[in-house]
């Protein structure tokens, strides 16, 4: 995975433009609103808020903590969406093998081997997927929908400003996230389907710690 590959000239021109555009964008924001270091704790918080491990562990825990059918349906479908997202991003990263920006600091929480690659941004795919998928399936208050969208946009912008990704890595991740949300909307499990999947992994007659919500 570490060998150098020949990149087609048209693609190389796009990637070179992306590097320059990313540098100019970060420098512009730093000069106009910076220094960016004073926002680093906020951007790190956004990074953690969309990290795959807390989302997976938290969702899996709550699936078996609550036994309300509608709540469990939501949690099971989100868990499946997260698994789908992880698989798609891992495959694309392994195929593309684009390096992260040269001044990226290797201080991300709980990374795996493919995380050293930059395209697509997994945080962008996950944030956009969730911010589209949940409103697709539920009639939320407008303020909640706006909060989800603002959170996903903040996560995406922070990926560039933290120097984790180039602009096209994030833009590509956002597009993939929308497609993932559309796909999961088609595959969305009913309450009965979600419960059946849970029963496949757990005999609930042996579980006495469930809470009725």
Catalytic site positions? 123, 165
CA distance 181 to 204: 30
Place of tokens 């100019």: 24
What's the CA gap between 57 and 75, in Å, rounded?
A: 11
The long-range contacts involving 3-7, CB below 8 angstroms and separated by at least 24 positions, are 5/97
H helical segments located in the chain: 9-33, 40-49, 52-65, 69-96, 122-137, 142-161, 167-187, 191-201
Q: Three-class SS of residue 140? A: coil
d(CA 210, CA 105): 42
């Amino acid at each position: 995975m570490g060998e150098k590959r020949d990149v087609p000239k048209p693609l190389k021109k796009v990637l070179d433009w992306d590097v320059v555009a990313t540098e100019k964008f970060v420098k512009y924001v730093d000069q106009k609103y910076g220094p960016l270091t004073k926002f680093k704790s906020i951007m790190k918080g956004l990074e953690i808020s969309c990290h795959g491990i807390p989302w997976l562990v938290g969702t899996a825990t709550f699936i078996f903590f609550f036994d309300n059918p509608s709540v469990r349906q939501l949690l099971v479908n989100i868990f499946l969406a997260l698994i789908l997202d992880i698989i798609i991003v891992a495959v694309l990263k392994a195929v593309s093998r684009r390096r992260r920006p040269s001044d990226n600091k290797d201080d991300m929480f709980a990374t795996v081997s493919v995380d050293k690659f930059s395209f697509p941004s997994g945080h962008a795919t996950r944030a956009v997927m969730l911010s589209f998928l949940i409103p697709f399936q539920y009639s939320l208050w407008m303020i909640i929908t706006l909060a989800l969208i603002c959170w996903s946009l903040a996560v995406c912008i922070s990926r560039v400003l933290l120097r984790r990704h180039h602009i096209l890595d994030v833009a590509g991740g956002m597009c993939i996230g929308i497609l993932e949300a559309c796909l999961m909307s088609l595959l969305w499990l009913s309450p009965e389907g979600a419960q059946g999947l849970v029963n496949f992994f757990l005999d609930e007659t042996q579980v006495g710690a469930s809470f009725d919500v």
